[in-house]
Structure 1
Amino acid sequence: MEERRQYPRIGISFPVECKTLPSKNFSYTVSKDLSLGGVRVFTTNAIPKGRVIKVNINLIDEVLNLKAKVIWCNKERIANRYSMGLLFVEATNTVKEKLFQFLNKIYS
Structure 2
Amino acid sequence: MNWPERIAAGVTALVCLAFLVRLLLPAPAQQRLDSFAGRHWYRLKVAAIGLWRGLRGRPQARQQQKVDQVQAERLAREAIEKARRGVERDGNVIRPKAFKGRDHDPH
TM-score, normalised to structure 1, is: 0.24
Q: Which has the larger radius of gyration?
A: 2
Q: Which has the higher helix share?
A: 2
TM-score, normalised to structure 2, is: 0.24
Q: Which has the higher strand share?
A: 1
Q: Which has the higher contact order (CA 8 A, sep 6+)?
A: 1
